[in-house]
Amino acid sequence: PDPSSRSQALHTRAKRSLPGGNTRTTVYLSPYPVYAAHGAGCRVHDVDGNVLIDCINNFTALIHGHAHPALASAAHRQIDLGTAFGMPTESEIALAELLAERVPGIEQIRFTNSGTEAVMMALKAARAYTGRPKIAKVEGAYHGSYDYAETSLDASPANWGEAAAPASVAHSLGTPQGVTADVVVLPFNDSKATEALLRANAASLAGVLIDLLPNRVGLIPASAEYLEMLRRVTTELGILLIVDEVITLRLASGGAQSRLGVTPDLTTVGKIMGGGFPVGGVAGRADVMAVFDPSAGRPAVPHGGTFSANPVSMVSGLAAMQLLDEAAYAQLDRHGDMLRQGLNQAFADTGIAGQATGLGSLIKLHLKADKLTSYRDAYPSPEQARAMARFNREMLNRGVLMASYGLIALSTPMQDQDIAQIIETAHEALNVLRREEVL
């Protein structure tokens, strides 16, 4: 703590009007967070004048970094024309067309304001389409804060239950038992156990919700075998396969589903496709999306949203997506590979047990060296979690911003020398961990 810090003074002030001084758990940092002032490209300036290379990009959403001129001018033009109407606008059609063109599982889409809402609407759509009540999701995977979708998220290991049939554990205190009773929790990448759970619950399962590269499960990809089984068994049992691409849309123009070769019935999207503004979308096959169609009277699933498809998000999102051509994805992939390799080398050079996982522009650090395939493998011990938080602080103090639990998301403005700077800084931070015997 530094008494002259403006961030610290802002946090002290915030504690009076925001619980814990915080309005977004993911950005909480003890003893106080660093407050942002402004950003440009891959750098963000904090209120104390420090310049940070931004490796979190608003939790993966800002694929073009900060204040990209094309996105800013699209937003400015729309702001001058009006920001939201009680009418549809042409901008929503253009973004829907682009996504349907690029993503294999998307024929039609409904826009929302967040990924949380997109997932909520996808689960409601699956229930309405199938007439069944239950949802299956992967143990530990994060899909936003709808009660059903957050089940089993970050449950303490004492509550995990059997590996082959993980317990359905509520995330928020006070969650009704009916919620956990209607969620089947699947062990990630365990095809045999997952297939058995799907078959045992077939008559009551509406959908399987899965992120193909789940961040909280260790940012390890779903195996080809697991995906083949999921697609085959859900089709056979009449269960909808829902792929959550809120984060992974940044992996390829067709999302992770095109990269890993699975076509879902429903897809949820968000983050990068808002061009820096709030956004989400529930999308999929036209016959499933018909549950939202109001043209023949009250739809099976009514869906509104005061700011859904607001034209500022739509035009900025369209500009962001149009900038993502094959060359942009190729550069993000190359930088991701460079960084993963450099970080793994930093672990080797400093003798700290650790590894970098992920795909393309998404990278996650782990303070464990064994090969990771499942949630339970990847879950950090309390010592490892503390050491990761310390590593994050050492990175931050040297000008690199990432998620406190080790997530990194790259952006298109980054150049080779920026990747080199991140690797160099990681070396220094890992050396501190080694010197101080943090692990």
Letter for the amino acid at 188? F
Q: What is the DSSP letter of 221?
A: P
Q: Which of 182, 190, 211, 244 is catalytic?
A: 244
Based on CB atoms, which residue is closest to ligand PMP, 226 or 347?
Answer: 226
Largest CA distance in the chain: 69
Taking CB under 6 A as the rule, does residue 150 contact ligand PMP?
no
244 is catalytic: yes
Based on CB atoms, which residue is closest to ligand PMP, 273 or 352?
Answer: 273
- Strands 165-166 and 183-186 come out as unpaired
- The tokens describing 281, both together, are 């979308």
Binding window for ligand PMP (CB under 6 A); candidates: 94-102, 110-118, 161-169, 186-194: 110-118
- Give the DSSP H/E element, type plus range, for residue 195: helix 191-200
Based on CB atoms, which residue is closest to ligand PMP, 60 or 194?
Answer: 60
271 is catalytic: yes
Taking CB under 6 A as the rule, does residue 256 contact ligand PMP?
no
Q: What is the DSSP letter of 207?
A: E
Q: How big is the chain by its Cα radius of gyration, in Å?
A: 22
Footprint of ligand PMP on 355-414 (CB under 6 A): none
CB of 410 to ligand PMP, least distance (A): 16
Taking CB under 6 A as the rule, does residue 59 contact ligand PMP?
yes
State which of residues 34, 106, 247, 430 lies at the interface with ligand PMP (CB under 6 A): 247
Residue 311 dihedral angles phi and psi, to the nearest 5°: -65, -20
Binding window for ligand PMP (CB under 6 A); candidates: 142-150, 160-168, 307-315, 318-326: 142-150
211 is catalytic: no
Taking CB under 6 A as the rule, does residue 52 contact ligand PMP?
no
Return the bridge partners of 111, or none.
281
Residue 284 dihedral angles phi and psi, to the nearest 5°: 160, -160
Q: Residues 353, 368: contact at Cβ < 8 Å?
A: yes
Q: How many CB atoms lie within 10 A of CB 105?
A: 22
How far CA 166 is from CA of 177, 183, 226, 335, 385, in Å, comes to 16, 11, 17, 36, 22
Taking CB under 6 A as the rule, does residue 251 contact ligand PMP?
no
Based on CB atoms, which residue is closest to ligand PMP, 143 or 364?
Answer: 143
Residue 103 CA, chain-centre distance (Å), reads: 17
State which of residues 41, 115, 221, 336 lies at the interface with ligand PMP (CB under 6 A): 115
Q: Residues 315, 324: contact at Cβ < 8 Å?
A: no
**Tokens 């930088």, residue located:** 335
State which of residues 212, 246, 269, 429 lies at the interface with ligand PMP (CB under 6 A): 246
Footprint of ligand PMP on 190-229 (CB under 6 A): 211, 215
Based on CB atoms, which residue is closest to ligand PMP, 105 or 350?
Answer: 105
Residues within the interface to ligand PMP (CB under 6 A)? 59, 114-116, 119, 142-144, 211, 215, 244, 246-247, 270, 280
Query: Which amino acids are annotated catalytic?
Result: 142, 244, 271
